[in-house]
């Protein structure tokens, strides 16, 4: 997987975290590096850990699924992308009721919720034999940075960009799934 492809997947995966970071920024009176960094650290760490878990869970079956791994990647990325697009349409202003709490319980739950799709991407990485450590490091860093920016954007602009981020993330993941499928079926 090329650097550009990994960057695009990282952007797609971080879209949910970015959208939730926007919501977390709404009620914060004054955003500083500490609270933006806390959100970024939680979301970035979970976006890195979940693909690693998916990778190690599926690497055991890699030899059994090699003949159709591209279909698995296509279906998983397509499904995740469609879910994100659906959520972007359902939750235009779904930031109501957000509090400014950055405690462990709140951030842990939000981190799990925003990184479930990364677990499936980890499965895809195993199918494609991606070098996992640089990949998850990159995903974690991109998510960390975008989440910090999302907190600030939410604080300044409100929830205006939340659904657009989810829509873009969904389209990116679907596009990557189609690209993987086409590369393996047309070039095979």
- Per-residue pLDDT reduced to its tens digit, 177-188: 788 778 777 765
Which pLDDT score is estimated for 93? Answer: 47
Q: How far apart are CA 86 and CA 88, in angstroms?
A: 5
Global pTM reads 0.75
Residue 187's H or E segment, with its range, is none
- Domain count for the chain, please give it: 1
Low-confidence ranges of the chain (pLDDT < 50): 93
Show the domain range for 45: 3-186
Task: Decide if 1 contacts 138 (C-beta within 8 A).
Answer: no
Kindly tell me the sign of the dihedral angle through the C-alpha atoms of 9, 85, 143, 161. positive
Residue the block writes with tokens 């993330």: 169
Q: What is the pLDDT of residues 139-167, one digit of tens each?
A: 999 999 999 999 998 888 766 666 777 77
Determine what percent of the chain falls in helix, strand and coil, rounding each to the nearest 5: 85, 0, 15
């Amino acid at each position: 997987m090329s650097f550009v492809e990994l960057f695009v997947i990282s952007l797609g995966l971080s879209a949910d975290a970015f959208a939730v970071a926007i919501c977390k920024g709404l009620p914060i009176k004054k955003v500083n590096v500490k609270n933006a960094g806390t959100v970024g650290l939680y979301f970035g760490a979970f976006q890195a850990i979940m693909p690693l878990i998916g990778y190690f869970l599926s690497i055991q079956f890699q030899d059994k699924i090699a003949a159709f791994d591209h279909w698995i990647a296509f279906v998983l990325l397509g499904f995740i992308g469609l879910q994100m697009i659906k959520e972007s349409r359902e939750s235009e202003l779904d930031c109501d009721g957000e509090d400014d709490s950055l405690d462990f319980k709140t951030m842990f739950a939000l981190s799990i919720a925003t990184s479930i799709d990364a677990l499936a991407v980890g499965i895809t990485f195993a199918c494609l034999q991606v070098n996992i450590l640089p990949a998850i490091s990159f995903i974690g860093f991109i998510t960390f940075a975008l989440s910090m920016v999302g907190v600030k954007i939410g604080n300044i602009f409100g929830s205006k960009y939340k659904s657009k981020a989810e829509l873009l993330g969904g389209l990116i993941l679907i596009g990557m799934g189609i690209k993987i499928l086409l590369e393996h079926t047309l070039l095979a």
